[in-house]
Chains A and B, each alone.
Chain A
């Protein structure tokens, strides 16, 4: 059976392996992409002399294997390198602000999904009219089928342009004004995870209600309210933990496209720009950071699951 220590050590090993795989993988792949960083940075009007000089500065004239080796060596020392495009700025200084934006977006989306999804799922399981349940389930199904970017587009159109109660994309650069810019994209992103959570909670709640202990509790005289909140809800909400952990990767992909639509200066925008300018250090940095974040998130979800669900603990 699983112990906390075992989970921890497995996950830590995982982080290291993932980091190495991602590092080597991106270094290799990105350098296989056609197109030259120097030409892209300097643009159409660059003279051949300027191009060569820049290539030398960026170290692009050395063999691929050597370039990869150098970047891995630096990584071990905690140095993610300096950007090609933004000369003189470290990758870390460029990525961290973008990472914060994406992290906030994802965190807010997950929070919204939980706040709305769990009560909604529970409510649907308990509602007496099966017609309402059907309608609810159908709406959830449609929402889960709706890709995040389409949700973003529709919301942008309806809420920002038509109703004018949210800014049409952008970023304030300082809290708390940033809330005004992030809530609509977060809603768009949560329109996938929220319904997903609601469906899972509804299913788990229905299964829990069938358990004999629920009937037993009622027979003992526990109020309906208390049975729902203290007995059904905890069991119904349990599957949500691994569900959210599993979907961390999906949320990142969704966040990237939603950011593109709302013009948020997050990792997505930065990644696309870095790919376009062949800014290898930034691409590597983002790939590494996202991969490690996903693994760490999964670790946290696993630990939470372990601590909350007594059935999983070793005897």
Chain B
């Protein structure tokens, strides 16, 4: 569950208005906001029941049904944005807990001088990362299962979260540990120790705040990967099952009728893509982007 290897962070010494980076950041955030807002607002304004059979099946997009109707006759437009709430909530929850857990654990481990702690934790995280995530998710999803339902999450949501929490914190721990290793050689840490601050205080008040940006940046792209994972699960017979609206389950159902009714899967995919592009643009703008220089 990784994106790219992060290169160095830019410490933004120079502030210039409307550099390409800022434009990138703005566009990215706008796209994300557009999708999130739509998911919040559309189901409030449009009162169509996402589960009701409102028209004949497989109708193409029209004025009454902007995204057409699906294979049983439900309105795809309202389903897509109702589904968005599910996916976004799950992705947010799936990222926040590992983010906190992993960052704290990673920082503590990184700050510790004891080799044993480092070795044990690293081997443990390696073991967890190597564990085939798909297998883990499938199994946990089946155990915790389609049975348990923690409102307001749909059935199956809880199990995805459990599987994700168990595995995902390791990446954040690794990033935090790496960053801490770099930071602990810095002067301010040495100064802190000379001044007699407790280890705990150094970690909490001095190291953590500098580690957050690294892990938080990754969290944004991790959220996107999580959305992709959740949406992919129905294709493996797991995850949020139809008929609960969820981006993946809508695309999965639309897949069978792709030749007759492209709009079911592809409008959903379009929305996911807009969100994804926004996330990637945002993440890119936060990572150092070297100036373009020509080879003379």
Check if A and B associate: yes
Q: Please determine whether B236 and A196 come into contact, CB atoms closer than 8 angstroms.
A: no
Q: Mark B193-219, 1 if CB is under 8 A from A, else 0.
A: 000000000000000000000000000
* Distance from A152 Cβ to chain B, minimum over Cβ atoms (Å): 9
* Distance from B282 Cβ to chain A, minimum over Cβ atoms (Å): 10
B5 touches which one: A149, A209, A246, A283 (CB < 8 A)? A246
When A145-B273, A203-B290 are in contact, do A14 and B126 touch as well, CB less than 8 Å?
Answer: yes
Cβ of A74 within 8 Å of any chain B Cβ, yes or no, is no
When A196-B3, A228-B295, A243-B5 are in contact, do A206 and B290 touch as well, CB less than 8 Å?
Answer: yes
Q: Mark A105-131, 1 if CB is under 8 A from B, else 0.
A: 000000000000000000001101010
When A14-B126, A147-B231 are in contact, do A34 and B132 touch as well, CB less than 8 Å?
Answer: no
Q: Please determine whether A34 and B139 come into contact, CB atoms closer than 8 angstroms.
A: no
B139 touches which one: A29, A126, A291 (CB < 8 A)? A29
Complex Cα distance A68/B295, Å? 62
- Residues of chain A in range 53-73 having any CB-CB distance to chain B below 8 Å: none
Q: Please determine whether A290 and B135 come into contact, CB atoms closer than 8 angstroms.
A: yes
Cβ of A83 within 8 Å of any chain B Cβ, yes or no, is no
* Distance from A210 Cβ to chain B, minimum over Cβ atoms (Å): 5
* Distance from A37 Cβ to chain B, minimum over Cβ atoms (Å): 13
Q: Please determine whether A252 and B145 come into contact, CB atoms closer than 8 angstroms.
A: no
Cβ of B178 within 8 Å of any chain A Cβ, yes or no, is no
- Residues of chain B in range 219-240 having any CB-CB distance to chain A below 8 Å: 224-225, 227-229, 231-232, 235-237
Complex Cα distance A124/B188, Å? 40
Q: Please determine whether B290 and A253 come into contact, CB atoms closer than 8 angstroms.
A: no
Cβ of A184 within 8 Å of any chain B Cβ, yes or no, is no
Cβ of B255 within 8 Å of any chain A Cβ, yes or no, is yes
Complex Cα distance A210/B292, Å? 9
| A: interface residue count bin | 35 or more
Residue from B129, B132, B272 having most chain A Cβ neighbours under 10 A: B132
Q: Please determine whether A242 and B290 come into contact, CB atoms closer than 8 angstroms.
A: no
Q: Please determine whether B295 and A214 come into contact, CB atoms closer than 8 angstroms.
A: yes
Cβ of B91 within 8 Å of any chain A Cβ, yes or no, is no
Q: Please determine whether B132 and A276 come into contact, CB atoms closer than 8 angstroms.
A: no
Q: Please determine whether B255 and A295 come into contact, CB atoms closer than 8 angstroms.
A: no
- Residues of chain A in range 1-49 having any CB-CB distance to chain B below 8 Å: 13-14, 17-18, 21-22, 25-26, 29-30, 32-35
Cβ of A247 within 8 Å of any chain B Cβ, yes or no, is yes
Complex Cα distance A235/B225, Å? 28
Q: Which residues from chain A contact B291 at a C-beta distance below 8 Å? A: 206, 210
Q: Which residues from chain A contact B236 at a C-beta distance below 8 Å? A: 256-257, 260, 268, 272
* Distance from B205 Cβ to chain A, minimum over Cβ atoms (Å): 32
Q: Please determine whether B2 and A246 come into contact, CB atoms closer than 8 angstroms.
A: yes
Q: Please determine whether A146 and B229 come into contact, CB atoms closer than 8 angstroms.
A: no
Q: Please determine whether B139 and A227 come into contact, CB atoms closer than 8 angstroms.
A: no
Complex Cα distance A13/B127, Å? 11
Q: Which residues from chain B contact A228 at a C-beta distance below 8 Å? A: 295
Complex Cα distance A210/B7, Å? 15
Q: Which residues from chain A contact B258 at a C-beta distance below 8 Å? A: 153, 156-157, 161
Q: What would 20 more interface pairs be, CB under 8 Å, given A18-B130, A156-B258?
A: A18-B126, A33-B142, A142-B280, A144-B276, A144-B280, A145-B280, A147-B231, A149-B231, A149-B235, A150-B272, A153-B251, A161-B259, A209-B293, A250-B225, A253-B134, A256-B236, A257-B235, A268-B134, A272-B138, A286-B135
Could you tell me which A residues sit within 8 Å of B by CB distance? 13-14, 17-18, 21-22, 25-26, 29-30, 32-35, 125-126, 128, 130, 133, 141-142, 144-150, 153-154, 156-157, 161, 196, 199-200, 203-204, 206-207, 209-210, 214-215, 218, 224, 227-228, 232, 239, 242-243, 246-247, 249-250, 252-253, 256-257, 260-261, 268, 271-272, 275-276, 283, 286-287, 290-292, 294-295, 298
